Each structure stands twice: as C-alpha cells, then as structure tokens.
C-alpha cells in the first residue's frame, strides 16, 4: 500500500524520508521496558479508562487505545508520563515516527478544492 496516504495528507511527501533515524537499540529496548511498566500503573489505567484519543478526540473503548509516544522512542523519546498519550489505533498508525510538529508539516497548506 505504498503511496497511499490518509485523507488530507500528501502521499508523495509521506513516502519521502526527510529525517534520519539512528536509534540506539539499547535505548529503544530500555524505553520499551519502561513503557511496559508504565502501562501497569494506576496513572495509565486512568488515562485509558477515559476512552479518549489524545490526537483526534474520539471516544473509543478502552481496550482499543494504545500507548503512543509524543516524541517516538526511535527518535530519542522517553517512556515517561509527559511523553506518552492514549491514542486510538488509527491515529497511532498514521503518526508512525512523527512528532506533532512533523504531522503539521505533512498537512496540505491549501486543502484540495471541490471543483
């Protein structure tokens, strides 16, 4: 499904590699372990029980929410309360390795007209 992009995103720009990833495997493994521990905390359980996606604001069943790192671990992000949000699977998949700033750059400057 290469080249396919969600509505409102530019498919060509999504397939271009405009940032490099040199993630330290030890850092990624360490942060994934921290994320597993964080998922078991009462703090995370309260976030998930709200049933709200941090990105799109949709109300979804708690079991369908995933832990999403605002700054991805592969880009140096950490598994700490200030860097993780509850996200629906659609938003988490769409976001991939992007930060919120990257996502803003992916949106079209001028939305397509309905001519």
Task: Please answer whether residues 77 and 35 qualify as being in contact, where contact means their C-beta atoms are separated by less than 8 angstroms.
Answer: no
What is the full per-residue pLDDT of the chain (115 aa) written as tens digits?
444 555 554 444 444 455 556 778 899 999 999 999 999 999 999 999 999 999 999 999 999 999 999 999 988 899 999 999 999 999 999 888 888 888 777 776 666 666 5
Neighbours of 54 (CB within 10 A): 17
Query: What is the domain range of residue 68?
Result: 22-106
Q: Is residue 114 part of a domain?
A: no
The answer to whether residue 43 sits within a structural domain is: yes
pLDDT for the residue numbered 102 = 82
Q: In this predicted structure, what is the pLDDT of residue 3? A: 46
User: Tell me, what's the pLDDT at 78?
Assistant: 94
Does any domain span residue 67? Answer: yes
What is the domain count for the chain? 1
Q: The domain that contains 70 carries what CATH number?
A: 1.10.30.50
Residue 103 is predicted with a pLDDT of 79
């Amino acid at each position: 499904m290469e080249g396919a992009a969600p509505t409102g995103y530019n498919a060509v720009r999504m397939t271009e590699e405009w940032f490099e990833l040199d993630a330290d495997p030890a850092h990624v493994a360490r942060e994934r372990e921290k994320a597993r521990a964080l998922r078991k905390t009462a703090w995370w359980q309260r976030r998930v029980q709200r049933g709200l996606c941090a990105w799109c604001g949709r109300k979804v069943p708690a079991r369908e929410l995933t832990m999403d790192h605002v700054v991805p671990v592969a880009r140096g992000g950490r598994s700490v309360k200030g860097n993780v949000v509850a996200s629906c699977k659609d938003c988490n998949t769409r976001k991939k390795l992007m930060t919120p700033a990257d996502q803003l750059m992916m949106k079209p400057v001028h939305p397509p007209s309905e001519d």
